[in-house]
A = this chain, B = another copy of it.
């Protein structure tokens, strides 16, 4: 009953006989343990994290729930393989808009092999990882005009410079002509998705406060996943009352290491930079709305 996830925007994808994650109908995400040490390391992280009592409950909810490992039929037809069984974070959504943002100004870390170091730092310099402290890895947006998902080409996303990343974060919360690169994103959902007491920004700030003091883990090469349902902001009537809210989840823990008493300054710095980008968008939208309101009040 397992199938290829519909809403994955980055990472290995189970397509054309390749090994990748699978989902079931009950909200579970099956991630194959990668052959090398990375799979083991990620499973070990989930084991240790899910039992860790030093991590407060309000932080635990930013991580997918872990249900152990299980042997399931692999997506590449190579028979039964061990998979981590995780919460499928998009399972409560009908048409989720999803963005994967890899946090940190480097994806390598002390004591990696020279081969791995060189591979990482090349990509870190080519993307916005070094300059911004984060890079957009992929995203998809539900387009109401087309009643389908719009997703940019992976090569385009990885080619973003500062302005490209800023534009993507605006587009992600916009309702207008997504495929048209000349149109200016209207940021129609910015206040609801990024703003508010339960919005993305509030969640990011809660994570930031934890990262300022936690020295348990270093989240190398880890991503923030942002998910929301733009339907729920457009729907009229009573159907929206239980609409799934915009949420932040941390994912991809194959390179998590012990913090050994030092904060994860690499993740924290990148997170602060990302937060500033989100704040900037909210500020522009608020200023625009203020102008609109005062125009209305003045009869224009």
Residues of A bordering B, CB below 8 Å: 105-106, 109-110, 121, 125, 130-133, 162, 212-213, 215, 260-263, 265-266, 268-270, 272-273, 276, 280
Shortest Cβ distance from A211 into B: residue: B272
State how many angstroms separate the Cβ of A67 from the closest Cβ of chain B: 33
Q: Is the CB of A262 within 8 A of B273?
A: yes
State how many angstroms separate the Cβ of A270 from the closest Cβ of chain B: 6
21 examples of A-B residue contacts, CB within 8 angstroms = A105-B105, A105-B106, A105-B265, A105-B269, A109-B130, A110-B125, A110-B130, A121-B121, A131-B262, A132-B262, A132-B265, A133-B266, A133-B269, A162-B260, A212-B272, A262-B273, A262-B276, A263-B273, A265-B269, A266-B269, A268-B268
Residues of B within 8 A of A260 (CB): 162
Residues of B within 8 A of A110 (CB): 125, 130-131
State how many angstroms separate the Cβ of A218 from the closest Cβ of chain B: 10
State how many angstroms separate the Cβ of A228 from the closest Cβ of chain B: 25
Residues of B within 8 A of A125 (CB): 110
Residues of B within 8 A of A121 (CB): 121
Closest 10 CB pairs of A and B: A269-B269, A133-B265, A265-B269, A265-B273, A263-B276, A110-B131, A263-B273, A268-B269, A268-B272, A265-B272
A125 to B132, CA, bound (A): 21
A260 to B132, CA, bound (A): 11
A151 to B206, CA, bound (A): 42
A125 to B261, CA, bound (A): 19
A268 to B212, CA, bound (A): 11
Interface centre among A105, A213, A270, A273 (most CB of B within 10 A): A273
Residues of B within 8 A of A276 (CB): 212-213, 215, 262-263
State how many angstroms separate the Cβ of A290 from the closest Cβ of chain B: 20
A260 to B268, CA, bound (A): 20
A263 to B276, CA, bound (A): 7
Shortest Cβ distance from A275 into B: residue: B212
